[in-house]
Structure 1
Amino acid sequence: MRLENIVMQARDPQATGRFWSAALGLEDLSPGSPDDYEGRLRIDDDVWLDVCIEPVTEPPPPGWRLHLDLRGGAQQAEVVERLHGLGARHTDIGQVDVPWVVLADPDGNPFCVMEERAAYADTGPIAALPLDSADPARDAELYAAITGWVPVEGVGLVTLRHPSLRGPLLELCPEPEPKVRQNRAHLDVRPTPDGPDQRGLVDLALSLGASLASEDWAQEHPWTVMRDVSGNEFCVLADPED
């Protein structure tokens, strides 16, 4: 199994996709739907993540339980300036006095450009994926089991990373408030031939406290929509041969 997709929502996926493609140096791919955007962030030959953007009609709501932290480091100011040139803008999510810079993409989705941190060595342009959690340790157990990622020293209360120790960190962070709506960003995991199939991966997630999404929008897909212990959506994709 592997963590395959970071899925975001936007009112204009193509315009937002062009921003993220330029911001992250993505390889543009052919999405499953012409209304979507999909691009690949290649860390090395064996480590990659796809950024997928799907359409919605509403602007971003308050609260952002999963977002991207981009690597800035010693070049933080230069990275921020370049992102401004691509269409990002400063935004206030209540951050007050912090060493990172909070921006929003052209659709208004917040993200951060981080200061220098030793934990971000070899991450590539995405330093981390912070995810709000009501129980970071228990959610980390779930994500480790369904992605194959391993615990590492990091910035979040509990941090996971690809076993190659390359690519972004998945940081499980204490939630500021309980989840109240569908997340505007989520993760997708894919079965691989050396692990459980889709049904087995769903059963594994259920055994570790995940639940099946019951809403109408979550039904009738090749993937299975689930929620972690804290209510955050994630999807188990179809088996590779499907």
Structure 2
Amino acid sequence: MSTRLACVVFDADRPRLVADFWAELLGWAVTIDRPEEVDVAAPDPDGADLALAFLPATRAKHGKNRIHLDLASRSIDHQRLQVDRALSLGARRVDIGQGAVPWVVLGDPEGNEFCVLEPREEYVDTGAVAAVVVDTRDPLRLAQFWATASGWPVAHGGERIAGLRSATGLGSWLEFVRTPEEKSGRNLLHLNLASFDDQAAEVARLRAAGATPIDRDSVPPATAPTLTLADPEANEFCLLRPVRDHSTR
């Protein structure tokens, strides 16, 4: 298979502002800074962290995002420091009905929810981002689709939560958590897949696994150069076109 998970994409009113927030919070760097896209990535080129991309788009946020980031911590003190740092950079505390839990729910400068987790053994080697979390009504079914789409194996699966991780054992998890709410409207965060060979063949493979095409008129212009699809629960994702190799002629 010649497709891999490439990045988590944020629709943003102010892409550079939100990108700067995440770069500072994670200790990452801005790697692309253009009017149509700002990217943030981990400093280790050999790691398996997913990049973050911020695209200009008119946002209409209603309720909790269906995709969010969980941040790792090494200790309770480190968790507290992470929360304080996020608040100093422009985050705010968010109540999504979580109640008394050991993790802290915050919103970035444009209200995108994220969690600063208490120390957990399964995230000790993930780097700054413990997991990219997707709300779903059927965790195992959606995990199986994304395992097929990305090539990441299902590492654990159950009725409440299922998780994928790169076969290398490096980088963040991709996790699917049961939620009773159905998807409504376009997601403000989505995943991008990168295709390295025949895009038509990849589209056919993804459609056989349960993906459906989306009309370009329903997505922001910034994503138009890519091919936009939806997973079995209608979560939008993009398949990036293959990049030509100009290193040899």
TM-score for both structures, normalised by structure 2: 0.88
1:233 is the counterpart of 2:236: yes
* Structure-2 residue corresponding to 1:162: 166
- Percent identity over the alignment? 36
- Asked if structure 2 preserves the Cα contact closer than 8 Å seen for 1:8 and 1:185, the reply is yes
Unpaired stretches in structure 1, ≥5 consecutive residues? none
- CA distance in 1 between counterparts of 2:108 and 2:173 reads 21
Matches within 5 A, 1:1-242: 1-31=3-33, 33-42=34-43, 45-58=46-59, 60-74=61-75, 75-153=78-156, 157-192=161-196, 197-218=198-219, 221-241=224-244
* More divergent stretch after superposition (129-138 vs 203-212): 129-138
Aligned-pair Cα RMSD in Å: 2.1
Deviation at 1:129, TM superposition (A): 0.9
- Asked if structure 1 preserves the Cα contact closer than 8 Å seen for 2:50 and 2:172, the reply is no
Letter in 1 for 2:141: R
- Asked if structure 2 preserves the Cα contact closer than 8 Å seen for 1:3 and 1:188, the reply is yes
Deviation at 1:95, TM superposition (A): 1.1
- Asked if structure 1 preserves the Cα contact closer than 8 Å seen for 2:102 and 2:118, the reply is yes
TM-score for both structures, normalised by structure 1: 0.90
- CA distance in 1 between counterparts of 2:201 and 2:32 reads 28
- CA distance in 2 between counterparts of 1:5 and 1:134 reads 23
Q: Say which SS state the counterpart of residue 146 (structure 2) adopts.
A: helix
Q: Say which SS state the counterpart of residue 68 (structure 1) adopts.
A: strand
Q: Say which SS state the counterpart of residue 94 (structure 1) adopts.
A: coil
- CA distance in 1 between counterparts of 2:224 and 2:216 reads 12
- CA distance in 2 between counterparts of 1:150 and 1:14 reads 34
- CA distance in 1 between counterparts of 2:235 and 2:183 reads 8
Letter in 2 for 1:3: L
- CA distance in 1 between counterparts of 2:65 and 2:180 reads 10
Q: Say which SS state the counterpart of residue 29 (structure 1) adopts.
A: strand
Unpaired stretches in structure 2, ≥5 consecutive residues? none
Deviation at 1:19, TM superposition (A): 0.4
Deviation at 1:59, TM superposition (A): 5.4
- Asked if structure 2 preserves the Cα contact closer than 8 Å seen for 1:47 and 1:167, the reply is yes
